[in-house]
Amino acid sequence: MYAFDYVRAGSIADAEATQVVNPEAKFLAGGQTLIPAMKQRLAKPPMLIGLKDVADLKGIHRAGTAFGIGAMATHQEVATNPDLRNACPALCHLAGEIADPAVRSRGTIGGSLANNDPAADYPAAILALGATIVTGRRKIPADDYFKGLFTTALDYGELITGVGFQLPEKAGYAKFAQRASRFALVGVFVAKFAGGVRVAVTGAGDSGVFRIPAMEAALAKDFSVAALAGITVSPAALLADLHAPADYRAALIPVMAERAVAMANG
């Protein structure tokens, strides 16, 4: 590890103002990705702006059929929130499957979305739920937010303050995890709304999280496991690495989708 300055922000405005004066600084949420990257010298920010004390970035709130989750909500808080568990248990299940208890106690939803790791779990949920990523400057629809591997629509220095979404009628998430890291080799989140179905895949795309229109159309007509029979995914645009080749991921996607639909249907 090399030397760097650390500043603890007291508010969203304070964090953003500090970043404007120090444009090479990085926001520090849970640090479960940034700190390891710094240890390996893959990232070398001269300053970290700690967000731990920013109260406006915390909390999980419900307003009718809408939920808002603060950017600094930890995976464990998402996994165990009683209101969210009653309303959208699939999202709680997803959060409870991330890594291990130590990571879940510190890692945050905002940090995960800002980093946009191609094997992270949250992108599948946020895209399938048609959520909105809220920053200190604007609101970004999920369909416009994810731009590729570790790439998002965030401008430099733009701070995620929270995520909002409408509750689906049904939802489910299933993943095939890499045993050591618990990252998703393939993760599929399925969400059914009155106006249709959204299916999002993480861990498999060579450009990050993506949707599967063929599955969405089939499930919109018949939201059942049987509706997915015969739907395949081409390995052409899928990720191949030391953990799994592209054709293996292609074979896993329909299986995980079926499991997600089965979960959604109880």
Q: Which residues contact 69 (CB under 8 A, 6 or more apart)?
A: 59, 60, 61, 78, 84, 109, 162, 163, 164
Q: Are 168 and 189 in contact (CB under 8 A)?
A: no
Q: Identify the band that residue 37 occupies on the pLDDT scale cut at 50, 70 and 90.
A: confident
- pLDDT in the model for residue 157: 87
- The tens digit of pLDDT for each residue in 113-159 reads 999 999 999 999 999 999 999 999 999 999 999 999 999 999 988 99
pLDDT at residue 1 tops 80: no
Sign of the Cα torsion 92, 105, 61, 210 reads negative
Indicate the pairing of strand 196-202 with strand 146-148: unpaired
Q: Is the pTM of this model over 0.75?
A: yes
Q: Tell me phi and psi for residue 227, to 5 degrees.
A: -65, -20
Q: Compute the average pLDDT of residues 221-231.
A: 98
Task: Determine the Cα–Cα distance for residues 10 and 120; give it in Å rounded to an integer.
Answer: 28
| Mean pLDDT of the residues in the chain | 96
- The tens digit of pLDDT for each residue in 41-99 reads 888 999 999 999 999 999 999 999 999 999 999 999 999 999 999 999 999 999 999 99
- pLDDT in the model for residue 33: 86
Q: Are 239 and 249 in contact (CB under 8 A)?
A: yes
- pLDDT in the model for residue 57: 98
pLDDT at residue 109 tops 80: yes
Task: Enter the tokens of residue 222.
Answer: 């018949």
Most confident among 13-22, 24-33, 218-227 (mean pLDDT): 218-227
Task: Enter the tokens of residue 223.
Answer: 């939201």
Q: Are 152 and 145 in contact (CB under 8 A)?
A: yes
What domains sit in the chain, N to C, each tagged with a CATH number? 1-56 (3.30.43.10), 170-264 (3.30.390.50)
Cα 127 to Cα 92, 132, 197, 243: the distances in Å are 16, 9, 12, 24
pLDDT at residue 170 tops 80: yes
- The tens digit of pLDDT for each residue in 227-247 reads 999 999 999 999 999 999 999
Give me the percent of the chain exceeding a pLDDT of 70.
Answer: 100
Q: State the DSSP code for 129.
A: T
